[in-house]
Amino acid sequence: MNITVENLAPCKKLVRVELPATAVDEAFESMTKDFQRQVSLPGFRPGKAPRAMVLQKYDADIASEVKKKLIPDAYRKAVADHKLEVVGYPDIEEIQFGRGQALQFAATVETAPEIQLPEYKGLPAKREALSVTEEDVDRAINLLRERQTNFNSVTREATATDVVVVNYTGTVDGAPITDVAPTAKGLTAQQSFWVNMDGTGFIPKFADQLLGAKAGDKRTVTVDFPADFVTPQLAGKQGVYAVEVVEVREKVLPAADDALAKGYGAESLEKLKEGVRRDLENELNYKNNKSVRNQLITALLKQVSFDLPESALAHETRNVVYDIVRENQQRGVSQDIIEKQKEEIYNAASAGAKDRVKAAFLLQKIGEKENIAATQEEVLQRIYQIAQMSQTTPDKLIKDLQKRNGISEIFTQVRNEKVVDFLQQHAKLEDVKPETAAPAA
């Protein structure tokens, strides 16, 4: 077999393969015999049909099967012989194929980049020197109390700590808001809508203009929609609301006592505080650890530059676009807004994808050099964790992963995490005060 490899561009090669006619004819002969043994023709027992009749009826099928076998086998041998690290799938062009002829085809492939690994031991990272304080625990306990808040109806005027229940209709330039922003129905009119008087959770300055109001009062509220408002058609515009106060409700928090603790499954308030402290410490350690790992990846990326395969970059860009769109949908952003922002989304995704693909190749190379790999047990454990979070069975998840080559992706994820563990173990860490710590990437 004759094989030549040409460089077309960085990370792209043309592999030309020629298989001699004798090998092609041998494959045809072998496949013809297989067909003779397997096919049935009228008047002949299975496997007893004459060769000439089999060829007359199945010649095209035989040629198709020979091609299906020879080209993949020859391609794999060419890749192995030239030690090509192929990324994605080849684009194969058949040039010549037939009985008595040499098989000739060309495969355009993308390959992993050639990387000169930088010094990856001793990468710098800053770690916040933080600890959980009593004030932190008290704030967390207060958040637990707020989850069990009672809202008691009162007849007095509304204060900044209350909730006001209102009916409202809104206009912009004298027209209903939906005339300007058709999807903003909730901003146009609502019945029995709860407004936090501390100003959180709704349009800025809306609640301020209801201070001192009582049930039955009617007020005109004027708001300026921020320039970065979630509904872009309203950004920078002024809205006018006709508001009717239905009810004023006072927030009443439960006491911080053993009864509160038992409502959260703890024996006592002290036990609840102990659990809260552990949770806060775990969260703090997680954030610190994530920040350090992000800094190490950033430091690694800065030390080396290389070309990236187009297909890998395109694939990862699609993944990032999908993640951004999904996050926006979960936040309630409409499909119309997402469509209008698709160019910005793509640009942001493309930039993020470059770093992710570059980091993936670097981590792979470091893993190879340091003999770091994911074990089958580690991958199965990760699959069980994903299945539990997804509320599905491991068997079903494995079948779904197999359909899209997802098992190998999990092997890669676990391997990469172990490589970052290695980088962290060999990092040059500096404990710093919070205000000087490097932000998480």
β-pair type (124-128, 428-432):
parallel
Q: What is the pLDDT of residue 437?
A: 46
pLDDT of residue 264: 94
Helix axes 406-425, 342-369, angle to 10 degrees: 70
* pLDDT (average), residues 315-327: 84
Strand partners, 21: none
Pairwise CA distance, residues 221 & 281, whole Å: 44
- The pLDDT of residue 299 is 95
Q: How confident is the model at residue 70 (pLDDT cuts 50, 70, 90)?
A: very high
> Does the structure show a pLDDT above 70 at 343?
yes
> What pLDDT score was predicted for residue 228?
86
The residues that bridge with 9 in the sheet, in sequence order, are: 12
Q: Which of 351, 291, 326 is nearest to 125 (CA)?
A: 291
* pLDDT exceeds cutoff 90 at 47: no
Q: Which residue has the higher pLDDT, 55 or 330?
A: 55
Q: Answer yes or no: is pLDDT of 436 > 70.
A: no
The Cα–Cα gap between 184 and 202 comes to: 13
Degrees to nearest 5, angle at CA 320 with 226 and 235: 10
Q: Crossing angle of helices 269-302/134-147, nearest 10°?
A: 110
Q: Whose structure tokens read 């439960």?
A: 254
pLDDT value at residue 377: 94
Q: Tens digit of pLDDT for each residue in 185-214?
A: 999 999 999 999 998 888 999 999 999 999
Query: Rounded to the nearest 5°, which phi and psi values hold at 263?
Result: -65, -20
The pLDDT assigned to 439 comes to 47
Domain boundaries, the chain: 2-111, 150-252, 266-436
DSSP 349-376: HHHHHHHHHHHHHHHHHHHHHTT----H
CATH of 2-111, one of 3.40.50.720, 3.40.50.970, 2.60.40.10, 3.30.70.1050: 3.30.70.1050
Q: Indicate the SS3 state at residue 404.
A: coil
Which of the four CATH numbers 1.10.3120.10, 3.30.1490.100, 3.30.70.1450, 3.90.650.10 does domain 266-436 have? 1.10.3120.10
Any idea what the Cα angle at residue 319 is, between residues 313 and 322, rounded to 5°? 140
Cβ partners under 8 Å of residue 300, min gap 6: 118, 120, 123, 359, 362, 423
Based on C-alpha coordinates, what's the Rg of the chain? 33
Q: Do 266-436 and 2-111 have the same topology in CATH?
A: no
pLDDT band with cut points at 50, 70 and 90 for residue 440:
very low
First-to-final CA distance of the chain: 50
Q: pLDDT tens digit string along 98-125?
A: 999 999 999 999 999 999 999 999 999 9
Average pLDDT for residues 54-71, to the nearest whole number? 93
Q: Which residues contact 304 (CB under 8 A, 6 or more apart)?
A: 115, 116, 117, 118, 362
pLDDT of residue 435: 65
Q: Which CATH architecture has domain 150-252?
A: Roll (3.10)
